[in-house]
Amino acid sequence: MKTQIILDTNFLLIPGQFKVDIFSEIERLCSFSYELCIMQGTEQELRKITLKKDEKGANKTAAKIGLKLVEDKKVKEIEFESLTDCDANDVDSKILQYCGQQKGKTECIVATQDAELAKKLRIAGIRLIRLRKLQYLEITQ
């Protein structure tokens, strides 16, 4: 069974912001079979960043790089609509609910830099991939 590694929107900004190759870093970390995924709505969030008038140019560039990487690396999009008690456009809530529903079926690891989401995932017992020292990735429990 393949582990699903779900890449959060802000995690996809890392290559453009910090020049870290997240894909080779994930490969370095994971000696097990895995599938890279994004949640439905992630590409839309990246596109919004590229279109915001008040967004910094560096963030716009990082979002464009993230979109290109998702396409080039053929990252699978998880379609997930069955949300309860949250906004259907809230990708973080989708990630939390999806990972919760997958427990016992398939392992999910979430790659994120969002501190609030990371806290909720830790409480739920979901492993994380985080950027450390702005240079490399690490899997945390």
For the segment 17-28, what is each residue's pLDDT rounded down to a tens digit?
999 999 999 999
Could you tell me which residues come within 8 angstroms of residue 4 by beta carbon, excluding any fewer than 6 positions away?
Answer: 34, 35, 37, 78, 102, 106, 107, 108, 109
pTM reported for the whole predicted model: 0.91
Residue range 104-118, pLDDT digits in tens: 888 999 999 999 999
Q: Which CATH number fits domain 3-140: 3.90.79.10, 3.40.50.1220, 3.40.50.1010, 3.40.190.150?
A: 3.40.50.1010
pLDDT tens-digit readout, 65-117: 999 999 999 999 998 765 555 555 689 999 999 998 888 888 999 999 999 99
Nearest alpha-carbon partner for 18 in 74, 58, 72: 58
In this predicted structure, the answer to whether residue 31 has a pLDDT above a threshold of 60 is: yes
